[in-house]
Structure 1
Amino acid sequence: MEEDNFKKIPFGQLGIIVHESCKELGKKIDKYLVQKRKDMLAECSEEYQVEKLQESYIIESEIIRFSNGEGKGHLKETIRGKDIFVIADVGNYSVTYNMFGQENRMSPDDHFQDIKRLISAIAGKARRIHVIMPLLYESRQDKRNSRESLDCAMALQELENLGVENIFTFDAHEPRVQNAIPQTGFESLHSTYQIIKALKRVEEDLNLDLDKDKLMVISPDTGAMNRAIYYAGVLGSDVGLFYKRRDYKKIVNGQNPIVQHEYMGAEVAGKDVLIVDDMIASGGSVFDISKELKKKNARNIFVAVSFTFFTNGIEKMDEYYKKGYIQKLFSTNLTYIPQKFKDSDWFEEVDMSKLIAHLIDTVNYDESVSPLLDATDKIKGIL
């Protein structure tokens, strides 16, 4: 039986440090947290209340930049004895800073350096430090092939050495990278429930709870197969796979170019198709796959991802939407989304701020996050 609210005692006074890259998401998270604590305190009598309601849990902070590009982290209020959560979006390329009179866009490296600056400014005064990095830094460089760096593992070890107790991310490209920090908490959460909820709300023609035989879940490559199997399992649908045939004699933009996508799976003719993956970078794979599926007479094609970049622009996505290749793209707000994406008819934003607020509240009260890692029952509930 769940503990009564008056028995719940936070590990430490809650404090959130929101990096400039994550301001919009941070405000939403803070709003949910304030309301959640307000509701909780209203349920228990004043004599049992162990904390006071705050108007905001965000700790004022800033990154001060020098004219040559160097910087330092600055906290504007005390954090002594607090349970601190540092939130940053390393994929936000809209943040800029001035260097030698020129405006520079911040790269993932710059954002990660700022995370370390903010942790350094805490100077061991906090009771605990947690880092919430929705897009895991260097997650695409998580394993070594030949003479290569292991950037993701090295970054996690740096955070561990700075005294970070827990690291939370979403849909890590390779969750086994946590083996680099066996003594530090590492959790990779998923956006499956929120995406399926958005699918059900937006697409009335897509009867997820009735027409299971008319829906197929497709994995764009072997790496995303486990994700596709999970979606197919909770939706009660068939699953298919596209295998990427690559030219290993060439390297283009840091990777071996794809020669062709080979499909393996059941017949897709006349069925709605849901392509699921962790991210869209340039979008090339999704475009090729959607074209192939249309050749096989698939009905409507939907794409669901946690992170959307479109590094080469959205012109081709606009084209494929107009041609009817792709019906809708569902993507979370876990990383920066330009306004032109949000304004597009083919884009549907999936808000994840409530889940992150629930995560912070759970960890602050030192409770298990296991219920947040598996949303199977909640998905079955909405279906």
Structure 2
Amino acid sequence: MKNNLGLIVMDSIKEVGLKVEKELNRFLKTNENYIIPTKIIRFANGEGKAEILQTVRDKEIYILTDINNYSITYNMFGFENHYSPDNHYQDVKRIILAMCGHAKKITVVMPFLYQSRQHRRKSRESLDCAHALQELKRMNVDTIITFDVHDPDIINAIPLGKLENFYANNNILEAIVEEHDITSSNTIIISPDFGAMERARYFAEMLQVEVGVFYKRRDLSKIVNGKNPVIEHAYMGADVKNKNAIVVDDMIASGGSSVEVAENLKERGANKIFIASTFCLFTEGIDFIKKAYKEKIFDKVYTTNLSYLPKEIKKERLIKVVDCSKDLAEVIYYGYMNKSMAPLLDNKTRFFEELEKIRTRKKGK
């Protein structure tokens, strides 16, 4: 049995990292401390450095980070600054540099891929995500593991590299089915735009229900917060009247578009409305979402713990946070044991088995 696994869990993902270590001990039938202690030091002018406090020589290292965790702070010239994705990414590079080339293999586990929203270039724009992937490759990172990447085609940025993209769709679906009566006749899956249509089709296939999509008509003459504002959501699809609608997307930024889609569905006579997203950022705070929930515009948000959420948000009744620590540990386990990732990438059979268990359990209550 191999015994050279090491986890470097950045401060941004400590809670999940501890759960991952526990699950790895279960998978490997061990009782080891796989987490390697590290330290990130910031100087008064904002510069920083990383220290690794235990040997990594000949170990297979998995670096876990959450680039959206803005609760991490540092002082610069007497001011308190919150971490941005740039800071988190820079710390990952510092950790790699601090290994001094002694690790046998390096894998970066970044559930929300750094700069994945800037995945393609239009005219004179920076191509940040592709550059970051290429940079990690040049730093001898063997594999990059991510979840529900904004555009899976970004893998083409590193044609000789390994980018493994997994999904939390099944976890979210199971949570919805566990809590609600979801059948093929009373439910419809809704894509908020054409970009999320592939994900919506997957949800619809798993639940064997119909699917609908909204077309976002944008005002191309204006730019607000870096985007052309949406002026209309035009719906195309089956009738939603008296049906439970599950609105699916890879992430919720401010939540504005999701609420607008939910309002439109309510006006069309939808019954319960659920918003399902792997990542909920709530970039404008939670008050807007809380207001929409109190006004019964939607019934619940389903998301994962793969990206930071403040404790006060997780306590709200309007949200269900699905724990994906076990899935993350399983991905690491398969990689460490050099097993094929195919069962994890295509796990429809596993979902149908779990779905049957849930429905059988609910019938027995």
Pairwise TM-score range, normalised by the shorter structure: over 0.9
Match of 1:29 among 20, 36, 49: 20
Distance 1:129 1:54 in 2: 22
Q: Deviations over 1:102-134 (max 9, x none)?
A: 211010000000000001111111110000000
| Offset at residue 70 of structure 1 (A) | 0.6
For the 8 Å contact 1:134–1:168, the answer to whether it is kept is: yes
Q: Which amino acid counterpart does residue 21 of structure 1 have in structure 2? A: S
Distance 1:275 1:375 in 2: 22
How large is the RMSD of aligned CA atoms in angstroms?
1.0
Match of 1:215 among 187, 197, 200: 187
Distance 1:106 1:130 in 2: 22
Q: Deviations over 1:284-312 (max 9, x none)?
A: 11111000000000000001100001111
Name the residue aligned to 2:363.
none
Name the residue aligned to 1:334.
306
Q: What aligned pairs does 1:6-21 form with structure 2 within 5 A after superposition?
A: 9-10=1-2, 13-21=4-12
Name the residue aligned to 1:47.
none
Name the residue aligned to 1:179.
156
Distance 1:200 1:59 in 2: 38
Distance 2:256 2:214 in 1: 13
Query: Does residue 355 in structure 1 map to residue 332 in structure 2?
Result: no
Name the residue aligned to 1:267.
239
Q: Which amino acid counterpart does residue 317 of structure 1 have in structure 2? A: I
Match of 1:286 among 258, 261, 270: 258
Name the residue aligned to 2:80.
103
Describe the SS at the equivalent of 1:212.
Answer: coil
Q: What aligned pairs does 1:247-258 form with structure 2 within 5 A after superposition?
A: 247-258=219-230
Distance 1:305 1:239 in 2: 16
Distance 1:315 1:103 in 2: 24
Q: Which amino acid counterpart does residue 134 of structure 1 have in structure 2? A: P
Query: Does residue 85 in structure 1 map to residue 57 in structure 2?
Result: no
Gaps of 5+ in 2: 356-365
| Offset at residue 36 of structure 1 (A) | 2.2
Name the residue aligned to 1:189.
166
| Offset at residue 207 of structure 1 (A) | 2.4
Distance 1:170 1:96 in 2: 25
Name the residue aligned to 1:304.
276
Gaps of 5+ in 1: 1-8, 39-52
Name the residue aligned to 1:58.
35
Describe the SS at the equivalent of 1:359.
Answer: helix
Q: What aligned pairs does 1:234-253 form with structure 2 within 5 A after superposition?
A: 234-253=206-225
| Offset at residue 54 of structure 1 (A) | 4.2
Q: Which amino acid counterpart does residue 11 of structure 2 have in structure 1? A: E
Name the residue aligned to 1:73.
50
Describe the SS at the equivalent of 1:317.
Answer: helix
Q: Which amino acid counterpart does residue 26 of structure 2 have in structure 1? A: Q
Distance 2:295 2:24 in 1: 43
Paired residue total: 355
Q: Deviations over 1:45-86 (max 9, x none)?
A: xxxxxxxx4431000011111111111111000000000000
Q: Deviations over 1:141-169 (max 9, x none)?
A: 00011111100000001100000000010
Distance 1:324 1:249 in 2: 33
For the 8 Å contact 1:31–1:56, the answer to whether it is kept is: no
Distance 1:316 1:83 in 2: 44
Distance 2:351 2:25 in 1: 26
Q: Deviations over 1:175-195 (max 9, x none)?
A: 111111111110110001111
Q: Which amino acid counterpart does residue 178 of structure 1 have in structure 2? A: I
| Offset at residue 339 of structure 1 (A) | 1.1
Q: Which amino acid counterpart does residue 126 of structure 1 have in structure 2? A: A
Distance 2:350 2:25 in 1: 24
Name the residue aligned to 2:361.
none
Distance 1:297 1:175 in 2: 34
Describe the SS at the equivalent of 1:254.
Answer: coil
Describe the SS at the equivalent of 1:113.
Answer: helix
Name the residue aligned to 1:117.
94
Q: Which amino acid counterpart does residue 250 of structure 2 have in structure 1? A: D
Describe the SS at the equivalent of 1:55.
Answer: coil
Describe the SS at the equivalent of 1:25.
Answer: helix
Percent identity between the two aligned chains = 47
Q: Which amino acid counterpart does residue 370 of structure 1 have in structure 2? A: A
Distance 2:306 2:289 in 1: 20
Distance 1:340 1:200 in 2: 25
Name the residue aligned to 1:45.
none
Q: Deviations over 1:304-362 (max 9, x none)?
A: 10000111111121122112111010010001011121111111011010001111111
Distance 2:184 2:313 in 1: 30
Distance 1:196 1:382 in 2: 10
Query: Does residue 150 in structure 1 map to residue 91 in structure 2?
Result: no
For the 8 Å contact 1:276–1:303, the answer to whether it is kept is: yes
Distance 1:98 1:121 in 2: 22
